Structure 1
């Protein structure tokens, strides 16, 4: 199902759209406590109004270089299989309305890392990838060479 509204985020210079219906909260990244023996893309856990939220470093998840200063990072809190997850992104933009007729299939030239999680693209001033939370969480993301 094509979402009617998207929260726009930026990760490694790529504009992504996440279905607003899946977003519970958008916060500035705060204190994150590391989790021993967790995969490197698990940044740790954080307390969000009394709830323990697993923080996912999407830069590490997609094989991007780490951000030099995490202080300005944002966190988009989503629910997946009944558990809250904070997706750490570089920046959060606006909520936009989407006309399903504007959504196009992935072009063959789309970077492989984005193809793995994309439900399609939307051509704005720049190319926006419609990111699937399920695919981000489920996929064994292979880093593009």
Structure 2
């Protein structure tokens, strides 16, 4: 029992750390109305382990903070990632639908943060298209590639204690 708790914490921490690194390294692309956040590709990881849910949430909080996001973005952006991760976990039996919840959550939430938090003076539907396109690239394309690659090794990489 204890080994499973330790494994859960280690997996969540590792996922959070990778999310933070990807967000900070690619910060110029990860923030703004035309964003492609490569770290969001990791939102497919709940397909493999529920530890990815808190890992992605904490990673997004830290990544947003270190990336210089405003408090509204840190909170709401991280909640969007959390909603996406929970949705990905809920759809884990339909492999090809796993990237859909993070795409939808961020497409809906982030434009409002950009408009009301950062004062980006563009129509919200236009920002939804822009943010949604970035999410399709990061989650739908890159995330699905990662999912298919890791699926071959899931029993080795994500084995339970």
TM-score (norm 2): 0.24
Which structure's residues are more often strand, by fraction?
1
Which structure's residues are more often helix, by fraction?
2
TM-score (norm 1): 0.26
